[in-house]
A and B are shown apart, each in its own frame.
Chain A
Amino acid sequence: MNGPRRSRTARGGLRAGLLLLSALMALLLALPALSGALGLANPALAGEASSAASEVVGNASAATATPAPGAPKTTLADYPRIRGVNSRVLVWLVAQLHLWFAAFVLAVPIFVFIIEAIGMKTRDKRYDEMAYEFIKVSITAYSLTAILGGLLLFSLLVFYPQLTAYLTRVFKESMFYYALLFFIESAALYLYYYGWHWLQGPFAKWVHLTIGLVLNAAGTTLMFLANAWVTFMMSPAGVDSAGAYLGDPWAAIHNYLWNPINLHRFIANIAYGGSIVGAYAAFRFLTATRAEDKAHYDWMGYTANFIAIAALLPLPFAGYYLAAEIYAYSQQMGITLMGGIFAWLFIIQAVLIGTLFLSANYYLWCGMGRSEGAARYNRFIKYIVIVLVGAFLVWFTPHTLVLTNEELKALGGPYHTYLGPLGIMPAKNTAVNIMILFTALSFLIYRRANRVPTVSWAARGNAIQVALYGAGILNIFFLGIYHGYFTNTVYKVASSIPQVMTTLIVIAASLVIDAFIYRRAREIAPLRWGRIPDRAQYALFLLAIAFTWLMGLMGYIRSGIRQHWHVVGIMRDNSADAITPTLGFAANVVSAGTILFMALVIFVFWLSELGARKVQPAGYWQE
């Protein structure tokens, strides 16, 4: 009796779910049409609006036409103060906390979607369970993201009302769709999470995966929209020189730095999400008492670290592209960024990025202990350490040194004859490409730890891989040294692209060759999940903390290069805080934010396991 009824209920639920999903999809598909109707995406209408606005500005004296208002010219009185509250620091911290959580909750569904799809393809339930656990962590963080988003909005309204009003005037359409998309994202996320165990089975699983796709599409679009508001403040478009909105929403969104930020944030979010989930797995690993739990969280930590590394590898290139675009847009912003006052923060950034590479590699090497077969490769690790640390030292060597007077005299100037050339980008690009290549090499060695190849051409395949690496490294050095130091700046900047391509080609080709060499490989010693030292888990924590700190620091720099402008060249910041704080103060604020965020993350981790705890309150309830 019970079975058919449950099955009918399930079918009914499925129908309801499908209906809701169809509605969501329809809404999503209807967005372009809706936006077209409102003139958001219709170039013709937008053009009309634009020319109309220009006309209005052009005929400002005409009695019938109202001139489009320019950006507000504020005075100190336009910035309300609340006793005991530093409005800039408050907005700074809240915005940063919102961004950290948002990056995490946007990234997790991306790789959950991929892991779920892998589980569907392989029919390995462990993937499905792990994907579910990933999304479980992010769902608690989701409400915190929304709360912090609300707090940010209210803080902006209270402390920066003129700026908020101006941005709202320019971005009214995208802000409206943002709210709508947020609704879709929330609906999809809750359906995705709560429907996980309900939507199981051949067809239902596809439905579930589709909800995941909708969730990711909505989340990523949300981020792109918010990015447009931020990049508009750096490289305004769609307004005239006085800041008057010309009526074309797409022009304002598609400003000069929008796509570079979109790309950079998309990749960085995945790396960041991976690192935070890795920290969660490490937390659970360290607190687990049963061997099977340790094994599960070890596997989860490994997967999370893999995701973080996979996204970390192309990240420096995306960052370089963004910095180059900032420079191309404004020499002033570009020099402030990397040659001027913020250059010293870039040294800290370099140290943190190096820390990411070192901790991710250390985790992989420690993980080789899962199999006895890895002992064969242990002797190679010290050479990888030498290369990684050597490249890391080049990576953070500053061009202008911090010198005592005595040192200044001994060197005969602020530059070091031999170390000075390591302070500019060609050396940095070379170093980071080498670090990436050797991180990939660590991964290749890890993959081989428990297996021996059975194909007859294994030795030749190996030789090809060694030759590929050798040729790649030579090419990277040639490009870095010759084009970096013996040609002009055009080639210097341009040579970074073939360097990147060399790195990517070597990694991809080596992985493909490796996959063929180790097809039907013989396992010589099994991988024992859970057999990993605790210190490897601390490497995962370090990864998450370094990522968080790095994002805070670079977020401040990105925002800080606007200096005394709310919107560069259009709307001046006339508040009491329209100064660039000292580097120490900025670093302290970012550090305080990092500690606050990590405390909240630990709270989220604790909450996510709270649901499984049960207590029998003896004598409390009536029997």
Chain B
Amino acid sequence: MMGRLLSRIPALLRAALVVVGIYLAATAIFSGLLGQPIPASLMTMYMFFVIVGVFMAFTFTEEGARAMAAPIRALVENPALRPVRNIVFLLVPLAAGAFTYTKMLPSLEAPVELRTIHPAPPSTFKAYGKRYDLLTLENPFRKYEKEDPERFRALVAEGGKIYIRNCQFCHGDKLNGRGPFAPALNPVPLNFQDVGTIAQLQESYLFWRIATGGPGLPEEAAPWISSMPVWQNFLKEDEIWKVILFLYDYTGHRPRAWEK
């Protein structure tokens, strides 16, 4: 019944309905149900390839391609459709013009930027008056995880205390980047719970980022607007390593490593 009803709808209209249906469903699910809207830049890419997919599905046979093109052919070739054609030929350039106008219109909105989330680390860096080699640098307390679990737990707890005293204001008490200061910051503080942040990085990388903060970021992709403090000025070397233990322990992520 439904199939017969659908087959009566012209192919072009059916294709358009599929595209609109997908768009509306995605918007309803992500914006309405989940409360996390799909950003416009991503939605544009998604919808472009949805349209490509629908076009492919409707035109891979000769009959399908003919059925898709039929209304367009009729519009251009059928003399009886002249008034409709004139309206369409007027509306299409007008719509294109309106779209271009709204896109080019200056606004008070800050321009979007392609932010580099993981700046490439240098091979060596200076902190606490000495030079560290990032290729060989390891967390000196990590070994206790196996060798002395009790001591390891104590170190993690110490790291937690240091975190709460110093870091949670921005990165949040749940390590999700939503601390009380976070709404005032742009870029917002990193969410350590996310699978794409500390779970992707080695502990040495975290040590470099924490110790040298925003001013220690490399020239690549400058200018940086990070408000991350230079923690070597406020914390001891050991304290940073303990905080790193806590970050991984609390989130359940494992630091990136090449070997077990």
A389 touches which one: B40, B53, B113, B176 (CB < 8 A)? B53
List A contacts of B118 (CB < 8 A). Answer: 335, 339-340, 343
Report how many residues on chain A are interfacial, defined by Cβ distance under 8 Å. 69
List A contacts of B177 (CB < 8 A). Answer: 412-413
B119 touches which one: A340, A354, A424, A490 (CB < 8 A)? A340
Q: Given the complex of chains A and B, what is the CA–CA distance between A388 and B56 in angstroms?
A: 11
Instruction: Verify if A423 is at the interface (C-beta below 8 Å from B).
Output: yes
B112 touches which one: A344, A351, A404, A535 (CB < 8 A)? A404
Q: Is the CB of B116 within 8 A of A343?
A: yes
Instruction: Verify if B101 is at the interface (C-beta below 8 Å from A).
Output: no
Instruction: Verify if A418 is at the interface (C-beta below 8 Å from B).
Output: yes
Instruction: Verify if B167 is at the interface (C-beta below 8 Å from A).
Output: no
Q: Is the CB of B256 within 8 A of A385?
A: no
Q: Is the CB of A424 within 8 A of B116?
A: no
B61 touches which one: A378, A414, A489, A580 (CB < 8 A)? A378
Instruction: Verify if B52 is at the interface (C-beta below 8 Å from A).
Output: yes
Q: Is the CB of A419 within 8 A of B38?
A: yes
Q: Given the complex of chains A and B, what is the CA–CA distance between A485 and B194 in angstroms?
A: 10
Q: SS class of chain B's interface: helix, strand, loop or mixed?
A: loop
Pick out which of these stretches binds chain B: A78-86, A391-399, A460-468.
A391-399
Instruction: Verify if A358 is at the interface (C-beta below 8 Å from B).
Output: yes
Q: How far apart are B114's CB and chain A's nearest CB, in angstroms?
A: 5
Q: How far apart are B34's CB and chain A's nearest CB, in angstroms?
A: 6
Point out which of B113, B115, B135, B196 has the most chain A C-beta atoms below 10 A from its C-beta.
Answer: B196
Q: SS class of chain A's interface: helix, strand, loop or mixed?
A: helix
Q: Given the complex of chains A and B, what is the CA–CA distance between A335 and B38 in angstroms?
A: 26
Q: How far apart are A562's CB and chain B's nearest CB, in angstroms?
A: 12
Q: Which residue of A lies closest to B109 (CB)?
A: A404
Pick out which of these stretches binds chain A: B4-12, B158-166, B199-207, B237-245.
B199-207
Q: Is the CB of B186 within 8 A of A332?
A: no
Q: How far apart are B146's CB and chain A's nearest CB, in angstroms?
A: 14
Instruction: Verify if B62 is at the interface (C-beta below 8 Å from A).
Output: yes
Q: Given the complex of chains A and B, what is the CA–CA distance between A366 and B65 in angstroms?
A: 10
Q: Scan residues 232-254 of chain B and give those whose CB is less than 8 A from a CB of chain A.
A: 253-254
A583 in contact with B187 given A407-B37, A488-B254, A489-B200 (CB within 8 Å): no
A365 touches which one: B60, B116, B188 (CB < 8 A)? B60
Instruction: Verify if B178 is at the interface (C-beta below 8 Å from A).
Output: yes
Q: How far apart are B19's CB and chain A's nearest CB, in angstroms?
A: 12
Q: How far apart are A37's CB and chain B's nearest CB, in angstroms?
A: 39
Instruction: Verify if A533 is at the interface (C-beta below 8 Å from B).
Output: yes
Q: Is the CB of A423 within 8 A of B196?
A: yes
Q: Is the CB of A397 within 8 A of B42?
A: yes
Q: Given the complex of chains A and B, what is the CA–CA distance between A404 and B115 in angstroms?
A: 12
Instruction: Verify if B148 is at the interface (C-beta below 8 Å from A).
Output: no
Q: Is the CB of B220 within 8 A of A336?
A: yes
Point out which of B41, B46, B60, B61 has the most chain A C-beta atoms below 10 A from its C-beta.
Answer: B60
Instruction: Verify if A382 is at the interface (C-beta below 8 Å from B).
Output: yes
Q: Is the CB of B178 within 8 A of A413?
A: yes
Q: Is the CB of A408 within 8 A of B186?
A: yes
Q: Is the CB of A396 within 8 A of B34?
A: no
Instruction: Verify if A331 is at the interface (C-beta below 8 Å from B).
Output: yes
A385 in contact with B178 given A335-B119, A400-B117, A414-B115 (CB within 8 Å): no
Q: Is the CB of B195 within 8 A of A485?
A: yes
Instruction: Verify if B191 is at the interface (C-beta below 8 Å from A).
Output: yes
Q: Is the CB of B49 within 8 A of A392?
A: yes
Render A324-343 as a binary contact track against B, CB cut-off 8 A, 1 for contact.
Answer: 00001011110110011101
Q: Is the CB of A330 within 8 A of B56?
A: no
Instruction: Verify if A420 is at the interface (C-beta below 8 Å from B).
Output: yes
Q: How far apart are A329's CB and chain B's nearest CB, in angstroms?
A: 10
Q: Is the CB of B57 within 8 A of A385?
A: yes
Q: Scan residues 10-47 of chain B and give those whose CB is less than 8 A from a CB of chain A.
A: 30, 34, 36-42, 45-46
List A contacts of B99 (CB < 8 A). Answer: none
List A contacts of B53 (CB < 8 A). Answer: 358, 385-386, 388-389
List A contacts of B257 (CB < 8 A). Answer: 488-490
A533 in contact with B42 given A418-B36, A420-B194 (CB within 8 Å): no
30 contacts between A and B (CB under 8 A): A328-B258, A330-B135, A332-B121, A336-B220, A339-B116, A343-B117, A343-B118, A358-B52, A362-B60, A365-B56, A369-B61, A381-B60, A393-B46, A400-B115, A402-B42, A404-B109, A404-B110, A405-B110, A405-B186, A408-B188, A409-B183, A411-B36, A412-B178, A413-B188, A419-B38, A489-B257, A490-B257, A490-B258, A533-B62, A569-B123
Given A332-B122, A339-B118, A569-B123: 6 more A-B contacts, CB < 8 Å: A358-B53, A406-B109, A410-B36, A414-B115, A419-B38, A489-B199
The 9 closest A-B pairs by CB, nearest first: A488-B254, A339-B118, A389-B53, A336-B120, A365-B60, A489-B256, A402-B41, A385-B57, A340-B120
